[in-house]
Amino acid sequence: MERIEHNRSIRSILEEVEEGTLSSLAAKSGQSRGRLKPEEECDLRPAFQHDRDRILHSKAFRRLKHKSQVFLSPTGDHYRTRLTHTLEVAQIARTMAKSLRLNEDLTEAIALAHDLGHTPFGHAGESVLNRIVEGGFRHNEQSLRVVDILEGLNLTFEVRDGILKHSKGQGNILDDDPKVMASTLEGRLVRVADIIAYICHDIDDAIRAGVLTEDDLPLRYGNLVGRTHSSRIGSMVRDLIATTREMDDGELHLTPEMTEAMVGLRKFLYGKVYGNPSIKRDFDRARKVLASLFVAVIEEPERPEFAPSLTLSGENRGTEAAVDFIAGMTDRYALDLYDKLFLPRPWAVL
């Protein structure tokens, strides 16, 4: 084993390794723009690795295992949840980061935290809060609120920036606008990894559920990305790595053909899967559940069912606390609470 210099922290040695091995374009832990609140850094872990560990041990991260991805509260063991989606995003992003010699710790930290603020019931839940909350609701902003305030993780600027700017909705995959793109290449990688992950695994889950077959996929895109789950991921990942290395201009790139395929497959999913009548019916039911719970929390915040999760104090704190409470729920918690509040209870036999 290489002899460790006892007069230096392990963290400083690892920071030096980053400087010597990572690309000049990579974000370096020792050059971070800092945390919300100054603190003494860990003697073992560089800043981004420390952030990754804080995220992994948070309560919000554990709750992701019971939040839906597309299929609401699936009973099958093999459907994705928000947690498995997050892990797939992290794996895809790390593969690309390693190939481009970017900072894997920063990449993984952003990927693991990017959906911490997501609602129960997937985007159905997000659409409810976006409609009824003044000013709207965006899960990327809520994710930042989770790590900053609700969990108090005091993460670095680079991780927080990547969390806030990972979401593109149906916008451009890679955008020239610095207001919507992360300041680091690692943060931009997570943005691309997110769409690669959900395109590929939502197709996979939809085929497993019988909503789609492989033959339903547009032929022109299938010929480019492949006809299996692994080939689709591999094609998109390899395209970004090869095109970025070829351009060599300090930005991330996809070929025009791959960009068209990814945008086309995303549009296909919105029409054929997310808009599928059976899935949409479940989404509509989920929206009613969350809307009813939100109104109940606003109107009767003192109810014992809401404590100790709900704490109200100060002007406008009611709506803010209600949003935190609803967005933080898992699917099963929301359904159980709805059942307790709104469904009739059987009479006891005396």
- Domains defined for the chain, CATH in brackets: 46-277 (1.10.3210.10), 279-342 (no CATH)
DSSP annotation string for 172-202:
-SS-S-TTTS-SSHHHHHHHHHHHHHHHHHH
CA distance 163 to 159: 6
Which of these, 174, 201, 9, 185, lies nearest to 86 by C-alpha position?
201
Paired residues of 81 in beta bridges? 68
- Taking the C-alpha atoms of residue 111 and residue 143, their distance in angstroms, rounded to an integer, is 11
Q: 105 near 29, Cβ under 8 Å?
A: yes
Give the phi and the psi of residue 13 in degrees, each rounded to 5.
-65, -45
| pLDDT value at 196 more than 70 | yes
Confidence band of 313 (pLDDT split at 50, 70, 90):
very low
d(CA 54, CA 58): 6
d(CA 117, CA 323): 10
Q: What is the rounded average pLDDT for all residues in the chain?
A: 93
> Residue 24 — pLDDT band, cuts 50, 70, 90?
very high
Q: Indicate the pLDDT class of residue 308, thresholds 50, 70 and 90.
A: low
Q: Which two tokens stand for residue 78?
A: 């093999």
Name the pTM for this structure: 0.94
C-alpha 195, offset from chain centre: 10
- Determine the Cα–Cα distance for residues 334 and 202; give it in Å rounded to an integer: 23
| Residue 3 confidence (pLDDT) above 70 | no
Q: Average pLDDT for residues 226-245, to the nearest whole number?
A: 97
H-helix segments, 219-255: 219-225, 229-247
The answer on pLDDT for 19 being more than 70 is yes
- What is the pLDDT, as a whole number, of residue 152? 97
Checking if the pLDDT of 14 tops 80, the result is yes
- In the block, tokens 């059942």 appear at 339
pLDDT tops 70 at residue 314: no
| Share of residues in the chain with pLDDT > 90 (%) | 82
Instruction: Specify the residue for token string 């307790």.
Output: 340
